[in-house]
């Protein structure tokens, strides 16, 4: 971690001298690193000015998902959802982050039933009664990123699918309770994994959350199957997604060979995921996007 001189301006942008601002904070991080833990550097810790910009991006992200929630129903295509996302995002001054990201062809991911994530919207995919679908929205505004997703039950959904969706949502909430300054990402992961397993489901291992704010995907990569006391230190200013992917069956997955994006459960069982973007604060957490 590269530190300013004691009388230099603090790296956080407060305008205060370093010795009057973050010097004790940095020394605490160094002590934790010396104990063998993974710690964030300054580039991963968002300043107050950056946080305000990220929140403005998140306002659009939330508004887009609210619009989807108000209009989604059986009989519409996932391509129609993609048009809603593009139109609402751009009218509010934003850019859909997935569009053309590493070749992704659409503005949103729509993942249905046994699709774990990265489902590509299509005119040929029509939502039908009994489907569960994850709509994953990500937004850029003035170079700042936000990201969250919600599950939707279409029409009359079977009890087992509905329970999966509810357990996935509660798993996220159980993980969120563990987001505390000076704790570790593994604290959250174990809480999620324990709750999911206690309900007879499994957590996807290979796909996780990520840091976000100044880029779409930043460090750290966020697992939901690791142990308490491991993974990166949750220092105030760290901003990341909580988005465990919960399978009704086994955790094994595979990627569509034709489009190179869509991930499915290997055993064909349904999968559910909710995603929020969270900021670690001095006294807990703040939900940025949901």
- Domain membership of residue 23 (yes or no) is no
- Domain membership of residue 76 (yes or no) is yes
Give the C-alpha separation, 100 to 8, whole Å: 41
- Domain membership of residue 193 (yes or no) is yes
Domain coverage including residue 230: 37-289
Element (H, E) at 70: helix 48-71
pTM reported for the whole predicted model: 0.95
Total domains, the chain: 1
Instruction: Kindly report the CATH number assigned to the domain that includes residue 280.
Output: 3.90.230.10
- Domain membership of residue 44 (yes or no) is yes
Output phi, psi for 97, to 5 deg: -65, -35
Q: Specify the pLDDT at position 102.
A: 97
- Domain membership of residue 117 (yes or no) is yes
- Predicted confidence (pLDDT) per residue in 44-55, tens digit: 999 999 999 999
Q: Specify the pLDDT at position 128.
A: 98
- Domain membership of residue 166 (yes or no) is yes
- Domain membership of residue 114 (yes or no) is yes
Segments of the chain with pLDDT less than 50: none
- Domain membership of residue 2 (yes or no) is no
Q: Specify the pLDDT at position 2.
A: 81
- Predicted confidence (pLDDT) per residue in 52-111, tens digit: 999 999 999 999 999 999 999 999 999 999 999 999 999 999 999 999 999 999 999 999
Q: Specify the pLDDT at position 210.
A: 98
Query: In the chain, what is the greatest distance between 2 CA atoms, to the nearest angstrom?
Result: 64
Q: Specify the pLDDT at position 151.
A: 98
Give the C-alpha separation, 126 to 66, whole Å: 20
């Amino acid at each position: 971690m590269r530190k300013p001189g004691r009388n230099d301006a603090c790296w956080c942008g407060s305008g205060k001298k370093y010795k009057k601002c973050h010097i004790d904070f940095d020394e605490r991080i160094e002590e934790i690193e010396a104990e063998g833990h993974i710690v964030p550097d300054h580039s991963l810790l968002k300043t107050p000015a950056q946080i305000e910009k990220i929140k403005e991006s998140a306002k659009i992200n939330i508004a887009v998902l609210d619009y989807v929630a108000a209009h989604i129903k059986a009989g519409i295509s996932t391509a129609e959802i993609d048009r809603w996302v593009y139109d609402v995002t751009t009218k509010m001054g934003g850019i859909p982050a997935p569009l053309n990201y590493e070749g992704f062809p659409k503005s949103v991911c729509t993942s249905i039933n046994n699709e774990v994530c990265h489902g590509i919207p299509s005119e040929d995919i029509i939502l039908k009664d009994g489907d569960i679908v994850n709509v994953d929205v990500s937004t850029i505004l003035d170079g700042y990123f936000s990201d969250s997703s919600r599950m939707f039950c279409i029409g009359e959904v079977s009890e087992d699918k509905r329970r999966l969706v509810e357990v996935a949502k509660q798993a996220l909430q159980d993980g969120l309770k563990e987001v505390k300054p000076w704790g570790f990402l593994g604290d959250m992961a174990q809480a999620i994994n324990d709750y999911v397993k206690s309900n007879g489901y499994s957590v996807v291992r290979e796909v996780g959350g990520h840091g976000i704010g100044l880029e779409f995907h930043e460090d750290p990569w966020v697992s939901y199957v690791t142990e308490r006391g491991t993974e990166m230190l949750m220092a105030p200013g760290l901003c990341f997604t909580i988005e465990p992917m919960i399978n009704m069956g086994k955790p094994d997955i595979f990627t569509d060979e034709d489009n190179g994006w869509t991930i499915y459960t290997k055993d064909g069982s349904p999968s559910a995921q909710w995603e929020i973007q969270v900021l670690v604060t001095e006294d807990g957490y703040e939900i940025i996007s949901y």
